Amino acid sequence: MARVLNAIVAVCPDRGIGNKGNLPWHPIRLSKEFAHFRKMTATPSVKGKQNVVIMGKKTWYSIPEKNRPLSNRVNIVLSRKCKVPPAGAHYLASDFSSALRLIETELADQADQVWVIGGSSLYKEMMGSTGMRRLFVTQILKQFQCDTFLPEISLDKYRLLPDSNTPWYTHNKVSRCTT
Ligand SMILES: NC(=O)c1ccc[n+]([C@@H]2O[C@H](COP(=O)([O-])OP(=O)(O)OC[C@H]3O[C@@H](n4cnc5c(N)ncnc54)[C@H](OP(=O)(O)O)[C@@H]3O)[C@@H](O)[C@H]2O)c1
């Protein structure tokens, strides 16, 4: 059976996700949002396995060096230009399909959940791909300057599952299932 793919993202009201290579709210640290991201992406559902995070090269470099690679997760970085993984990354893939192939071959025994963690074009490719897809969207309720945006979520394809509220942001699970 094809693997479920998950994406996780935190968005400003204008769907902005980044600014100047960093999170829009940088240097403010949204500690609850950070803890949510870590809990969701780093917690495998099967003991002895690890989750996989797939990200574009700019997202990799947006992570502070001391936090790279993201711990307890297999880190795959996508780049068409790089010939070797960026220092600290576990794997390099030249496109999204190659990353998924890597997970189903070399990483098959160790990989549990697969998380797409940005940026923009990768979210778009994942959201448009066929199969069971789940988007975990944290809505940041304050607008910050943004130059990178989450592509529009097609609500005729994705179902909104309301979750919880916090003073700073709300969590909404948006899911889609296609055969
Ligand atoms: N708010 C959030 O939740 C969130 C999450 C993630 C990122 N961000 C922010 O978003 C920004 C980074 O996102 P971005 O969209 O600008 O860049 P990105 O997708 O992280 O990186 C773009 C680069 O990654 C490589 N790449 C991306 N998709 C690829 C594919 N399908 N196949 C092969 N290579 C691929 C290419 O590298 P080459 O040029 O080397 O080929 C491309 O130039 C930062 O500001 C970051 O802080 C925010």
Give the count of alpha carbons within 13 A of 43, CB side only: 6
Ligand 1: residue of 11, 20, 41, 59 to mutate (most ligand atoms within 8 A of CB) is 59
Matching CATH number, 5-176, of 3.40.50.1370, 3.80.10.10, 3.40.430.10, 3.40.960.10: 3.40.430.10
Nearest Cα to 126, choosing from 110, 115, 137? 115
% of the chain exceeding 90 in pLDDT: 78
Query: Do the strands 169-176 and 159-165 form a parallel or antiparallel pair, or are they unpaired?
Result: antiparallel
What value does the CA radius of gyration of the chain take, rounded to a whole number of Å?
A: 16
Using CA atoms, how far residue 88 sits from 120, 131, 133, in Å, is 22, 31, 28
For residue 179, is pLDDT > 60?
no
Higher pLDDT: 179 or 17? It is 17
| Structure confidence by residue, pLDDT tens digits, 78-112 | 999 999 999 999 999 999 999 999 999 999 999 99
Position 173 scores a pLDDT of: 61
For residue 176, is pLDDT > 80?
no
Establish whether residue 76 lines the binding site of ligand 1, counting it when its CB lies within 6 angstroms of any ligand atom.
no
| Structure confidence by residue, pLDDT tens digits, 19-51 | 999 999 999 999 989 999 999 999 999 999 999
Establish whether residue 100 lines the binding site of ligand 1, counting it when its CB lies within 6 angstroms of any ligand atom.
no
For residue 178, is pLDDT > 50?
no
Using CA atoms, how far residue 103 sits from 7, 16, 115, 165, in Å, is 16, 29, 12, 34
User: b or e along 133-165 (b: 16 or more beta carbons within 10 Å of the residue's beta carbon)?
Assistant: bbbbbbebeeebebebbbeebeeeebeeeeeee
- Spatial contact of 32 and 160, defined as CB atoms under 8 Å apart: no
% of the chain exceeding 70 in pLDDT: 89
Average pLDDT over residues 167-172: 50
Nearest Cα to 9, choosing from 143, 136, 151, 98? 136
- Spatial contact of 4 and 51, defined as CB atoms under 8 Å apart: no
Q: How confident is the model at residue 167 (pLDDT cuts 50, 70, 90)?
A: very low
Establish whether residue 23 lines the binding site of ligand 1, counting it when its CB lies within 6 angstroms of any ligand atom.
yes
Atom of ligand 1 nearest to the CA of 62: 47
Instruction: Give the residue extent of every domain in the chain.
Output: 5-176
Query: Do the strands 50-56 and 111-116 form a parallel or antiparallel pair, or are they unpaired?
Result: parallel
Average pLDDT over residues 43-67: 97
Position 172 scores a pLDDT of: 58
Position 157 scores a pLDDT of: 83
Question: Which helix H or strand E contains 73, and what residues bound it?
Answer: strand 73-78
Establish whether residue 118 lines the binding site of ligand 1, counting it when its CB lies within 6 angstroms of any ligand atom.
yes
In angstroms, what is the span from residue 89 Cα to ligand 1's centroid? 15
